[in-house]
Amino acid sequence: MKRSFDIFFSALGLLLLAPLGLLLAALVKLADGGQVFYGQLRVGQFGRPFRIWKFRSMVANADQLGLPLTSGEDPRVTRIGRFLRSTKLDELPQLWNVLVGEMSFVGPRPEVPRYVERYTPEQREILAFKPGITDMASMLFRNEQDLLRGADDVEAFYVRYCLPRKIELNRQYAAQASLLQDIWIIVQTLCPYWLGVFTLYTAALVCCLWFAYLLRFDFVLTARLHREFLRAVPWVVGPQLLFLFWRGQMRGLLSYFSLRDLRRTVFCLFLALAIQFPLVQFAVGQGKPFLSILLVHFLLSICILSAIRLTFRSLRERSSGAVAKAASSVEPRRLAIVGTGDLATRLALEFSANGHGARRVVAFFDDDPYAWNKRPHDIPVVGMPECLLNPEWLKKIDEVIVALPERQAERAEEIRTMLKQASIKVSLTSTES
């Protein structure tokens, strides 16, 4: 089934995306006159080498000018290449690798031979599986360039800290691989988190407007009112989504909801209300929809969006285990927290609410790759704790709090020792798991 899925959709993708591929090829060619495609030798299933294809995103002979890794603002990346990399469009030619059977849509991302040579015997077990265009590790390491930014030795940092975590994620995938899981990974790869939040908010706000119409007309809507409702949707819901996006409500995790988030939501919806009436008057007609519909929609929107956030928060809190008291003796000016569990996020919320600028949490760091690139309480989860060793982060923080559960005491002590050697002030706090 997996191979049939790969053949069908890779062939379909090559056919449907051919116009886009031709456009991208022309842009790459016109940018500097170099070749369009770049083929790099990778290690495939059972250790067999093959050439993986991409749209060229770096200058000619880039592999001779540096490492097979890129970090931060790598000067080898071209202007059009940065766009291709940020949108992952440079990976489109790999549909050919899938079609001919060298790769699958989902599978361990293939590495270059120089890194495979450093695999331990246990890590080499991952070579039993066909490599893929995407996998869970690719999604969680999608900002890998930022993880590597500032490292004194980029390659050493990648091999020591990033590569083992990627392999472990791939082993986890292999242990429970299925076609349904592959489809879910593909969906997550194509649809970023904020897009899912945007879709959920859009559906909720449209339903609120529909219910406001039903209340206004005693649950009896004529064909004319149906048409009026459809014409009003973009002019009523559009401003709400715009202001919610502007205030960062699409970035934060839905499961983290506080009074501050409620105030932001109400503020965004109120700003939208201020411009909805004239917009609808212009688009739909004089007096339609009635002002009462907009007011009811405003109140319903607050209630429904808050209910959605509280539901996700309740689900998170039920599965997160016991809650401990936050540490009260730490007074850093710029604080990083290791951990993203309930204790860590409550600490961050307390500092945010009571710090008055003196205790500002600037970032989370966590061993769990599934937490990376998220923003609980609008604070970024940057990456693994070892990223704190990069000189760039040493300049940005004054102190670190390691907020891990009691069952991870050994890991907490390991992180404390590691950061002490880097001359960072470290505090430990924990809770029973």
Instruction: Render pLDDT for 249-292 as a digit per residue (tens, 0 to 9).
Output: 887 778 788 888 899 999 999 999 999 888 877 777 655 557 88
Give the length of the chain. 433
Distances 404 to 336, 383, 384, 401 between C-alpha atoms, Å:
13, 15, 13, 9
Report pLDDT for 155: 83
In a domain, 197, yes or no: no
Give a yes or no: residue 324 inside a domain.
Answer: no
243, with CB counted inside 10 A (0-12, 13-18, 19+), is: buried
400: domain CATH number is: 3.40.50.720
Question: Based on the domain organization, do 120 and 180 belong to the same domain?
Answer: yes
Q: What is the pTM of this model?
A: 0.66
Structural domain range at position 265 = 213-319
Domain end point (choices 190, 225, 246): 190
3-state helix, strand, coil in the chain (%, to 5): 60, 10, 30
Cα gap 58→65, rounded to integer Å: 11
Q: Answer yes or no: is 204 within a domain.
A: no
Q: What is the pLDDT of residue 422?
A: 76
Consecutive H or E run containing 214: helix 193-216
pLDDT at 272: 94
Q: Domain for residue 364, yes or no?
A: yes
Whether residues 186 and 67 fall in one domain: yes
Question: Would you say residue 326 lies in a domain?
Answer: no
Q: Do 32 and 134 share a domain, yes or no?
A: yes
- Each residue's pLDDT, cut to its tens digit, for the chain (433 residues) gives 889 999 999 999 999 999 999 999 999 999 888 889 999 999 999 999 999 999 998 888 777 777 777 766 677 888 888 888 888 889 999 999 999 999 999 999 999 998 999 898 888 989 999 999 998 888 888 777 777 777 778 888 888 888 889 998 888 888 888 888 888 888 888 887 788 889 999 999 999 999 999 998 889 888 988 988 998 899 999 999 999 999 888 877 787 888 888 999 999 999 999 998 888 777 776 555 578 899 999 999 999 999 999 998 888 777 654 333 333 443 447 889 999 888 888 888 888 766 545 678 899 999 988 889 888 888 999 999 999 888 888 888 888 999 998 888 889 989 988 888 777 888 887 654 4
Q: Within this chain, do residues 230 and 117 fall inside the same structural domain, yes or no?
A: no
H helix or E strand, kind and range, residue 52:
strand 49-55
Question: Which of 167, 127, 168 has the alpha carbon at shortest distance from 45?
Answer: 127
Instruction: Give the strands of the sheet with 399-405, arranged side by side.
Output: 381-383, 360-365, 334-338, 399-405, 425-431
307 and 368 share a domain? Answer: no
Mean pLDDT of all residues in the chain?
A: 85
Helices (H), 247-379: 259-283, 291-319, 342-354
Q: pLDDT at position 71, please? A: 66
Among 134, 159, 190, give the residue marking a domain's end: 190
Is 18 part of a structural domain of the chain? yes
Domain boundary among 260, 293, 319: 319
What pLDDT does residue 285 have?
A: 65
Whether residue 376 sits in one domain with residue 240: no
Looking at residue 162, the DSSP 8-state letter turns out to be I
pLDDT score of 402: 92
**Same structural domain for residues 182 and 217?**
no
Q: Say if residues 163 and 115 touch (Cβ distance below 8 Å).
A: yes
Q: For the purposes of burial, counting CB atoms within 10 Å of the CB of 117, is it exposed (0-12), middle (13-18) or buried (19 or more)?
A: exposed
How many domains does one find in the chain? 3
179 and 61 assigned to the same domain: yes
* Residue 315 shares a structural domain with residue 357: no
**Domain assignment of residue 158, yes or no:** yes
Q: Write out the two tokens for 409.
A: 């005491």
pLDDT at residue number 205: 96
Does residue 328 lie in a domain region? Answer: no
Reply yes or no: is the peptide bond before residue 369 cis, omega within 30 of 0: no
Spatial CB neighbours of 206, under 8 Å, sequence gap ≥ 6: 233, 237
- Residue 104 forms beta bridges with which residues? 132
**308 and 341, same domain (yes or no):** no
Same domain? 179 vs 231:
no
Strand partners, 404: 430
3-state SS, one letter per residue, for 20-51: HHHHHHHHHHHHHCCCCEEEEEEECHHHCEEE
Based on the domain organization, do 90 and 162 belong to the same domain? Answer: yes
